[in-house]
């Protein structure tokens, strides 16, 4: 992939908001995020379709610039990181025309889905571990809290699932996501519900 090609490919094929969220920025409904480049209480960086601008510090640029600033990389290294993280490939057959929907799907590597699945499992294990500690009975004759029972029952299983994404092979991770996509979706909805409860806020 040539230098000019990699810059144009990441800019054309990546959505700025998706990249920002993938790298840990929380985007509100108005498309604003808290600027990671200066201290602030109210989000002042606006994400547009093809560029960003911070109304607090004046920082601006495109998707490559944002990645470069977040990770302290040169522009070319930031473009390479984006290409690697999102599985962007240079395909001469698409040169001079916009890629088809099927081709666009090929630009996104399995890494993005892996990262999302791992985050769900990690957060769920953290949640279960907190339940195990928070609701552990103080005395032997105390009635067991349902969340304590849930934790001691499910935590070992989901720690094993999580470890597939730490120690497993790519084929094992791919097989897990294909087989447990519905389970992951259910866990994600459960976590989102728990986050909405102040008494069980997740870190």
Of 75-84, 120-129, 190-199, where does the model show the most confidence?
120-129
Per-residue pLDDT tens for 70-103? 988 888 888 888 888 777 765 433 444 555 544 4
Instruction: State whether 127 and 182 are in the same domain.
Output: yes
Instruction: State whether 13 and 70 are in the same domain.
Output: yes
Per-residue pLDDT tens for 135-160? 999 888 889 999 999 999 999 999 99
CA–CA separation, 8 and 90 (whole Å): 10
Instruction: State whether 81 and 153 are in the same domain.
Output: no
Instruction: State whether 9 and 102 are in the same domain.
Output: yes
Sorted by sequence, the CB contacts under 8 Å of residue 73 that are 6+ apart come out as 67, 81
Q: Is 158 exposed, middle or buried (0-12, 13-18, 19+ CB in 10 A)?
A: buried
Q: How many domains does the chain have?
A: 2
Provide the H-helix boundaries in the chain. Answer: 3-13, 16-22, 63-71, 75-85, 101-107, 110-134, 146-167, 170-195
For position 124, what pLDDT does the model report? 93
Its domain, for residue 78, covers 3-107
* 3-state secondary structure (DSSP) of residue 55: coil
Render 100-111 in DSSP notation, one character per residue.
Answer: PHHHHHHHS-HH
Instruction: Tell me the two tokens of residue 63.
Output: 């998707």
For position 111, what pLDDT does the model report? 65
Sign for the pseudo-dihedral over CA of 89, 93, 95, 101: negative
């Amino acid at each position: 992939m040539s230098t000019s090609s990699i810059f144009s490919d990441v800019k054309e094929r990546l959505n700025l908001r998706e990249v920002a969220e993938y790298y840990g920025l929380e985007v509100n409904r108005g498309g604003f995020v808290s600027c990671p480049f200066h201290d602030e209480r109210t989000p002042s960086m606006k994400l547009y379709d093809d560029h960003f601008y911070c109304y607090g510090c004046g920082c601006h640029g495109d998707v490559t610039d944002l990645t470069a600033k977040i990770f302290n990389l040169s522009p070319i290294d930031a473009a390479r990181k984006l290409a690697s993280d999102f599985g962007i490939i240079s395909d001469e057959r698409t040169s001079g025309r916009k890629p088809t929907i099927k081709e666009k799907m090929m630009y996104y590597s399995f890494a993005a889905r892996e990262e999302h699945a791992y985050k769900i499992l990690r957060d769920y294990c953290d949640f279960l571990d907190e339940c195990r500690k928070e609701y552990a009975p103080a005395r032997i004759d105390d009635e067991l809290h349902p969340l304590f029972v849930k934790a001691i029952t499910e935590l070992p299983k989901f720690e094993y699932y999580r470890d597939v994404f730490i120690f497993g092979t790519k084929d094992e991770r791919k097989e897990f996501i294909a087989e447990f996509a519905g389970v992951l979706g259910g866990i994600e909805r459960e976590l989102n519900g728990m986050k909405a409860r102040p008494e069980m806020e997740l870190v």
